[in-house]
Structure 1
Amino acid sequence: MNASIDWILWGILPYIVLTIFIGGHIYRYQKDQFGWSSKSSEFLEKKHLRIGSTLFHWGMLFVLGGHFLGILVPVTVYESFGVTEHQYHIIALAFGIPAGIAAVIGLALLCYRRLSVQRIKKTTSKGDWAVLFFLLIVVVSGLSATFLNVDSHGFDYRTTIAPWFRGLFIFRIEPHLMAEVPVWFKIHLLANYAFASIWPFTRMVHVFSFPIRYLSRSYVIYKKQVRKA
């Protein structure tokens, strides 16, 4: 029974979520290009947005960087550089915990802003609330998993979750690797499933709208108009 559940959760469901994620973006781009934006509310309130957004985005930037180094980079790479499991664990905690705390505080401020400023609350859609709700679960569950794994002899996700995740992209499905993963890590992964599933249908699509052409465009030249006497 457990093997069947593992196959569903860690062998089948990831591809369903990935299909929704990719297909949803294609559908959204084809049907709702004018709604493809972050729907900024800066003109309604700036103070809480500036603090909350800065903490959240910088915190998430470091969190995602840590995920990249821990999940996408194989253990053998670290071993080739002489980095032991204990050293990696200390480095991961030193950067991961502050980044996670910053992201949680920033997200909490953004939620408070949505609830306390009436003009913003009235313009907040159901999709916006869904984003905040699932983001909060994702970030809090991830930070909780980090705190519960502070022990230097704790669970090493680089030998279980990491190879399982990398295997999905080359169709090497190994759900058995997830069998002994602690429940708090599984909650974090399932929360990410849910968040990825609603992503294409919310304001989160703006993440893929970085104006790359701005890097190569010509400078805008402003000329001062001189009035004639």
Structure 2
Amino acid sequence: MDTFLWVIVPYICLTVFVVGHFWRYRYDKFGWTTRSSQLYEDRLLRWGSPLFHFGLLAVFLGHVMGLGVPKSWTEAVGVSEGLYHFMAVSIGAVAGIGTVVGMAILIYRRRTVGPVFSATTKMDKTMYAVLATVILLGLANTVFANIFEHYDYREGVSVWFRGVFRFQLHPELMADAPLTFQLHGLAAMLLFALWPFTRLVHVFSAPLGYLTRPYIVYRSRDTQLGTHRPRPGWDRTR
């Protein structure tokens, strides 16, 4: 079972993640969007969206540091184990709480605002449920594992994670990890498998075309020329 969960399943989810994005881009280019609902309601969105997105960005950067950077590297540049865990708990907790609060606002908005709820698909609901599970388990790991259990995930989970990309997996490292870390890993793999088929694909939609496209010229029908200087980008109709 350990081999199946921590060797086979990761590669299945990674394959679905990569191939699924190519398939989605090939057959559903016009669906590659967030399906923004800002026109329906923006008061709650104005609070929830920044909290969620900036918090999630901080969480992502924390995972890059915690999972992708070996423990020996941070120690080599002068970051002690105590300092690292202090930063992980303090910054991670703030980022995690901000993400949870932002997501709670967005889910409340999506459930209580009629037009927004009507535009919510079954896949959206599934994605929100899995994403919330991943975030809550991650927040629990950040707080309880560092304060109460003192589990050093950088010598266990992190080594296993890097081994996925080097094809040198050690399933026993995940099998020996606390249950919450195992559940967090399984939920994260499920999220990555669902990713290509949800609105999360917009993460890879950088609007680079905006940098090279021509200016949009707006024309006014006002026949009174006046004495003021016209605004840039506006040209009067003739």
- Does 1:199 pair with 2:195? yes
Structure index of larger Rg: 2
1:218 to partner: Cα distance = 6.3
Distance in 2 separating the partners of 1:173 and 1:136: 27
Cα distance in 1 between the residues matched to 2:160 and 2:236? 66
Task: Describe the SS at the equivalent of 2:166.
Answer: coil
Q: How many Å separate the matches in 2 of 1:45 and 1:205?
A: 23
1:166-177 equivalence runs, <5 A: 166-177=162-173
1:118 alignment partner in structure 2: 114
2:212 aligns to what?
A: 217
**Mapping 1:95-114, distance limit 5 Å:** 95-114=91-110
Deviations 1:75-123 (A, max 9, x none): 1111112222111100111100000000000000010001100111111
Given candidates 109, 123, 126, the residue that maps to 1:127 is 123
SS at match of 1:173: coil
Cα deviation code 1:44-84 (max 9, x no counterpart):
00011111111000100110110001110111111112222
Contact preservation (8 Å) 1:90, 1:152: no
The aligned length equals 223
Q: Which runs of 5+ in 1 are unaligned?
A: none
Backbone CA RMSD of aligned residues: 1.7
TM-score, normalised to structure 2, is 0.88
Greater relative contact order (Cα < 8 A, sep 6+): 1
| CA shift in 2, pair 1:155/1:219, >3 Å | farther
User: Unaligned regions of 5+ residues in structure 2, if any?
Assistant: 217-231
2: CA distance, partners of 1:56 / 1:197: 21
Does residue 178 (structure 1) correspond to residue 184 (structure 2)? The answer is: no
Instruction: Report the counterpart of residue 136 of structure 1 in structure 2.
Output: 132
Where does structure 1 differ by over 6 angstroms across 4 or more consecutive aligned residues? none
1:183/1:217 CA distance change after superposition, 3 Å: same
What TM-score do the two structures reach when normalised by structure 1? 0.92
Residue equivalent to 1:43: 39
The percentage of aligned residue pairs carrying the same residue is 42
Deviation at 1:225, TM superposition (A): 3.5
Secondary structure at 1:150 match in 2:
helix
